[in-house]
Structure 1
Amino acid sequence: MKRWLSFLLTGLIAFTTACSGSPAAGGGGQKEVLQIGALYPLTGSSALLGDESYRGAELAVKLRNQNGGVAGGKTVELIKTDAPDANAAQAEADRLITQKGVKLILGSYSSSISFAASEVTERNGVLYWELGAVSDQVTERGYKYVMRTNPPASHFSRIEIDYIKDVVAEKLGKNPSDLRIGIVHEDSLYGTTVAEFVKKYAEEANLKLATIQPYNLKSVDLSSVVLNVKEAKPDVLIGVSYLNDAILFWRQAKELGLDVPVFIGTGGGHTMSDFQKALGKDVDGILNVDFPQYEINKEYTPGLDDFVKLYKDTYGEEPRSGHSLANFMGTNVLLDVIDQVGDIDPDKLREAAMNYKLEPGKTATGWGIQFDEKGQNKLGQPYVHQWIDGKLVVVWPKGAALKEVTLPLPKWSERQ
């Protein structure tokens, strides 16, 4: 009942925390401070989405502390840590454990970072709470101390293929088996995992794969990739990119005249407001399968408007992507679990998390919560969005959608 009371009082949902057990002076006495490591890429190529993700966790902690803390008044503190790559992730996770004494680390947005850091936490019996990295391998290794609230890459790929079969084919006036599917992806763990599942599900659905084009995330010229895609002539192109490479690909697609009837991004850079700012009206019509964004049926996402207000009051701007929202929601769940346990004990937290359940449509993301034996939340699903007049609008599933999708994309020669 306490969980639901908190929800009604704040207009948001659940809660988040972690621990060091250090005392802090405050008011008429001392409060125990529970420290949680917060491991994100805050510099480097993933910094924008890394920082946006961190903001979500930071807001959840800020809100909980304002409402009295956790476990009878304990204050939560995030130890903010920069991990721009896998090597740094391992080093920083080790530092947080050995020097700061943390028993709980959250993060991390990047699959490569999550995969590396969670190896360190597992060896040390420290709980790793993932809020944004999507590679299935993060939770498929049989680790005891890894929990993830967001959906994995396989869910993204499944949604993409289902949407192509159920919606896109009809919009293009073709049978699904006649469609030509292309994949273009950065070649880190994130892009590779999504592409592998797209290939798997496409083959199972008897969809034709016209081309698969991997590229290095740090590439400064994707013209050869664009030309290869152009030669393959896909009806639907699925892209997996971070921000800079997503912008680069689309600029060079325009320069080289690559026209595709349907383009489906897979989160990452295709979600960011900076993607739209860089490309302007050229983004309109692009689809994106991702965490829920902000143009969505609010009846399905209670507390979303309150989150946006808190974000704007804190940072002086609109949220830059749904990554902050996903991290906020997942951190709230963690805080709620900590509140039940009373402190940060990895084994007790995992046990409490495994018994934690929340129905879909009851959180600010619309996701439910139910962890499987591997620590993966089974009730978090990506949504299909479309860039419409500079905004990323949910178009599928129907319960969360605000508008009907418009396809195909206009050719470059037809755009104003």
Structure 2
Amino acid sequence: MSRKGFLTSTAIALSLMTGQAMAEIKFGALYPFSGQLALLGEESARGLEIAVDEVNANGGVQGEQIVLERGDAVDNNQAIGEARRLISLAGVKAIFGTYSSSRSIAASQVAELSGIPYFELGAVADDVTGRGLQYLFRTNPTAEDMGELIVQMVVEKVAPSLGKEPGDLKIGIIHEDSAYGTSVAGHQERYGEEAGLNIVTTQGYPASTVDMSSIVLSLKQREVDVVFQTSYQNDSVLFLQQANEAGFEPAAIIGGGGGYSMLPTAEAVGNDVIEGVLDADFTQYAVNTDFTPGLEAFVETYKEKYGETPRSGHSLNNYVGALAILEALDGAEDLEPDTIVEAMAGIDVQEGDTAAGYGIKFGVNNQNERASMMGMQWQDGQLVTVYPDAGAVTEMKLGN
């Protein structure tokens, strides 16, 4: 046993004998726990909680048990206010979050000005890391990863499956109009144009919309073959339902994360509607586990803790990012902000060594340069990995 392990074990034993609580360290968990984005916010936070449980069971961070102080980022203003509260009143050493890009951008600015590290585990928009903040680190894949992967899927899999050349397909891009959807759509346009795709329309809308019938009609009138939608859960469900009601049946629908990876979305629209729909997103659960070591153990732990199977890969990706960060912090000399920054620079996890498949190493603007996404498809009520081949468990099924 190492000296550090011996000291940790001794501290635990002494605390049990004396009845005294172990020393604690506070971290913020800033997610949308209520409001429109609560389902994926809560799902994301569950991944962080499982990582904390695992680290605490192994002695915590630097011999101290981790306590998560929750903050509810129900909207941008609340995210700012909660970040201030977590830092000034709760005294957290760092903040983990936040799933929503716009809330992450708002709250991380508060943390940066306070000199408090902010670990983003799930928001994809460009501006999360694009601002060059010193204390912000993002472990998850980005909007650019998502946009590029979707175009690659069309070129390498969708078009061949339909027996067409990629440039012969009419592409319609629709997206919720916050930083998240706008970032992804921009990359879809750029990579699509480079690949010679025929993008016939790009349309944004507010995520809170209650009617997408005009967008559906526009896509139908333009005879769109493939729809790219970047959305949260409510607008994913709304589009799929209204497209079905209008008899709009494109050859392929490709979601960009958000609601498209969630079982509750499939349940809301029904298997007949969701069948064959594609999704480019964080690693999900029907995947080649040779590429994702630890995934099956994560699923079992999740089921034991929450009494149900994971609802989305957001929990898995938050778990993977948080675990790498917490293990790095355990090896740091202390938990001062600049020491934490140094510890993050030392993280070097190779591809294929995490339960999400991708590796972790922070590069330009503290973005994880080894993060990547996968392509999935709803088949027989299950979201299965179909792209890339290294992670796939079955073939993509399109056309008759």
Q: Into which bin does the TM-score normalised by the smaller protein fall?
A: over 0.9
Partner residue, 1:400: 391
Q: Deviations over 1:201-237 (max 9, x none)?
A: 1112221111112111111111111111111212211
The runs of 5 or more residues in structure 1 that have no matched partner are 7-24, 411-416
Q: How many residues align?
A: 387
Q: Distance in 2 between matches of 1:112 and 1:83?
A: 10
Q: Which runs of 4+ in 1 moved over 4 A?
A: none
Q: Which moved more, 1:59-68 or 1:328-337?
A: 59-68
Q: Paired residue for 1:37, among 17, 28, 44?
A: 28
TM-score using structure 1 length: 0.91
Change (3 A) 1:27 1:324: farther
Residue 289 of structure 1 aligns to a residue whose secondary structure is strand
Whether the 8 Å CA contact 2:30–2:83 is kept in 1: the answer is yes
Partner residue, 1:380: 371
Whether the 8 Å CA contact 2:126–2:143 is kept in 1: the answer is yes
Whether the 8 Å CA contact 1:70–1:342 is kept in 2: the answer is no
The runs of 5 or more residues in structure 2 that have no matched partner are 6-14
1:116 paired to 2:106? yes
Partner residue, 1:340: 331
Residue 139 of structure 1 aligns to a residue whose secondary structure is helix
Q: Distance in 1 between matches of 2:96 and 2:325?
A: 9
Q: Distance in 2 between matches of 1:26 and 1:217?
A: 50
Letter in 2 for 1:273: L
Whether the 8 Å CA contact 1:104–1:344 is kept in 2: the answer is no
TM superposition shift of 1:80: 1.1
- 1:24-63 to structure 2, matched below 5 A, reads 28=18, 29-63=20-54
Letter in 1 for 2:388: P
1:284 paired to 2:275? yes
Q: Distance in 1 between matches of 2:181 and 2:170?
A: 20
Whether the 8 Å CA contact 1:210–1:233 is kept in 2: the answer is no
Residue 405 of structure 1 aligns to a residue whose secondary structure is coil
- 1:1-400 to structure 2, matched below 5 A, reads 28=18, 29-71=20-62, 73-281=63-271, 282-400=273-391
TM-score using structure 2 length: 0.94
Q: Distance in 2 between matches of 1:146 and 1:335?
A: 15
Q: CA RMSD in A?
A: 1.5
| Greater RCO (CA < 8 Å, at least 6 residues apart) | 1
**Once the two structures are aligned, what percentage of the paired residues are identical?**
46
TM superposition shift of 1:64: 1.4
Whether the 8 Å CA contact 2:333–2:339 is kept in 1: the answer is no
Residue 130 of structure 2 aligns to a residue whose secondary structure is coil
Whether the 8 Å CA contact 2:55–2:327 is kept in 1: the answer is no
Q: Distance in 1 between matches of 2:44 and 2:66?
A: 18
Q: Deviations over 1:23-62 (max 9, x none)?
A: xx76534522110011000111100000000000011101
Q: Distance in 2 between matches of 1:166 and 1:96?
A: 46
TM superposition shift of 1:67: 2.1
Q: Distance in 1 between matches of 2:85 and 2:197?
A: 47
Q: Which moved more, 1:169-178 or 1:395-404?
A: 169-178
Q: Deviations over 1:333-372 (max 9, x none)?
A: 1111111114422211111211210111111101101110
